[in-house]
A and B are shown apart, each in its own frame.
Chain A
Amino acid sequence: MIAVELIKMLIRPRTWMIIGMLVALPTLVAVLLAVTELGPRPGTGPPFLSAVLSDGTLFPLAALGVVLPLFLPIAVAVLGGDAIAGESQTGTLRYLLVRPVGRTSLLLAKLVTVVAFVLLAVLVVAGVSYLEGRLLLGTAPATGTVSLSGSTLTQQDLGWRTTLALGYVVICMLGVAAVALFFSTVTTSSIAAALGTVGVLIASTVLLGLDAAAALHPYLPTRYWLAFVDLFRDPIMWRDVQRGLVVQLSYLVVFTLAAWASFTTKDITD
């Protein structure tokens, strides 16, 4: 079932359009930076963006920093929200279930597919922006890349830290995927499910900006999204990355269970 869902995702034009859009924004940023050579001042703007003018190898990270706060979560919300509700809308859900495909295995296949999409999207964004960084922006100093703490990282060091960061970004989307999947089981409109998910993310961002909600901050799904930056300090600051993992896994477990409870007891009437 998982294989069928993956194929469905890959042969769907929409998947590639979304990835194209995810790539388009960092590309625009790279071109603008290369043409104007006007980077944001250090410490302002998306992470790493001020450093890429002098060191293009950091551009994949800068690109993820650009895409992560808004574009990627919306893409995940759209795909996750479409998972069950979309099948419902095309009238294919009931035919899958009488095939029979078990409700639990369908739900799992959908979740795995959304995660696979995130992985694919992150890899494509990182790959394309790496090329752009090398071609359009500055090359790394011969001595190696400078970490955020001022020390020098070897190419090898940078390589595995970047891999870790990509993995962390994928994990950050697990919570979004699970929330979207849950909404997808309670409504038959994939747009409603996607918007509901985006609503949750916006609420989380709003609360993060509010000091009065400080007690809630550690539990908000978007709180630790940019913690991958800490992987480029020397030594690595693990605290926020670890907390981010715990938060995302908690959202994943809670909302996947909620989706399962809702979907396996639901009357399929459309």
Chain B
Amino acid sequence: MTEKARSNGQVIRTRALTKRYKDLRAVDAIDLEVAEGDVYGFLGANGSGKTTTVRMLLGLVLPTSGETEILGKPMPAARRAVLPNIGALVEAPGSYPHLSGRANLALLDATGADRSSPQERRARIGHVLEQVGLDPADRRPTRAYSLGMRQRLGLAAALMRRPQLLVLDEPTNGLDPQGIQEIRRLLLELNRQGTTIFLSSHLLAEVEQMCTRVGVLDRGRLVVQERLDLLLRPTGLVEVRTPDSFRCASLLGDAVVLVEGERLLVRSDDPAELNAHLVGHGVRVVEVGFHRRGLEAVVLEAGARS
């Protein structure tokens, strides 16, 4: 991709975005880049600055310094033009507890500037409620909703305006495993239809299963920003498990990078060749294969480096 095309396809771009609270740099000069069509996983421990960043993207928290461009326009200056194209779930979902889910969505929908007819609005609300798996005929007040139902309602609110960009903070919070899978399927379907998704989470498994790109925040600094498949590609090492680890290590010499009990990491491009070599020399092999790092290892390593 050429540089020009890349900058045109950029949905979120920040330059040295910083938020300081007195002496604490909650978010420290981060350069986010989210391209059109990405499912971007924004990872970080609790307190690493994820939520503050999300709030700055949406104009809720005002940055101390730095620039933000969303959908090609500066934020928060152009929020009137930008925000209608974004659906957001910021931390917990919010609703008026004495009203039904449908009434909550209707109130939120009515605050928009668009001139839709009442029928269009009703249809729109019924559609998003079905999309997230809530019963559009449910008249119970949201006070009676379970955590998972509230989460679904929050997602419905985010989806209501068919946004180009979804900014979701912990979207599967409070859902059971089946609910998580349903929501994941829904989000991936929306992504296939062209919605860019910015997903902030501390659940590595969720990000590993859904995302195309990953950014890792550690104590306010963006320590990793890379395509997920590049982060998780084979490391050029082969992992061997053997009860004869000492013999194996002395046999392979310098090629061994790490010995850890029965597990060895060996520099090699061909596990089959290595296996034949070891067995030929009387080393019993339990398991042999390409070494891949999990996302967890990548994240921990990045945190340790910074």
List the interface of chain A (C-beta within 8 A of B).
Answer: 1, 3-4, 7-8, 11-13, 90-102, 265, 267-269
Contacts and interface: CB of A to CB of B under 8 A. Distances in A.
29 contacts: A1-B111, A3-B110, A7-B110, A8-B107, A11-B99, A90-B94, A91-B91, A91-B92, A91-B93, A91-B94, A92-B94, A92-B96, A93-B94, A94-B60, A95-B94, A95-B108, A95-B157, A96-B108, A96-B111, A97-B59, A98-B60, A98-B83, A99-B83, A99-B84, A100-B84, A267-B55, A267-B61, A268-B60, A269-B52
B283 interface: no
A92 B98 CA distance: 13
Nearest to B81: A100
Contacts of A3: 110
Contact of A99 (B61, B103, B111): B111
B83 A100 contact: yes
A242 B79 CA distance: 43
- Majority secondary structure of chain B interface residues (helix, strand, loop or mixed): loop
Interface string B64-107: 00000000000000011001101010111111111100010001
A90 B157 CA distance: 15
A7 B111 CA distance: 12
Contacts of A7: 107, 110
- Majority secondary structure of chain A interface residues (helix, strand, loop or mixed): loop
B259 interface: no
A99 to B, nearest CB: 5
B79 A90 contact: no
Contacts of A267: 55, 60-62
A89 to B, nearest CB: 9
Contacts of B98: 12-13
Contact of A100 (B52, B80, B95, B99): B80
Contacts of A92: 94-96
Given A94-B60, A267-B60, A101 B111 contact: yes
B94 A100 contact: no
A176 B7 CA distance: 52
> Interface size bucket, B side?
20 to 34
Contacts of B61: 267-269
B111 A90 contact: no
Given A13-B98, A95-B94, A99-B84, 8 more contacts: A4-B107, A7-B107, A7-B110, A11-B99, A90-B94, A97-B60, A98-B58, A99-B83
Contacts of B90: 94-95, 98
B177 interface: no
Contacts of A8: 96, 107
A265 to B, nearest CB: 7
Contact of B108 (A13, A90, A91, A99): A99
A154 B55 CA distance: 63
Contacts of B253: none
A73 to B, nearest CB: 25
A91 B95 contact: yes
B95 A90 contact: yes
Contacts of A91: 91-95
Contacts of B79: 100
A181 to B, nearest CB: 19
Nearest to A13: B98
Sorted nearest first, the 4 A-B pairs with minimum C-beta distance are A91-B94, A100-B83, A268-B60, A92-B94
A90 B110 contact: no
Interface in B124-174: 157
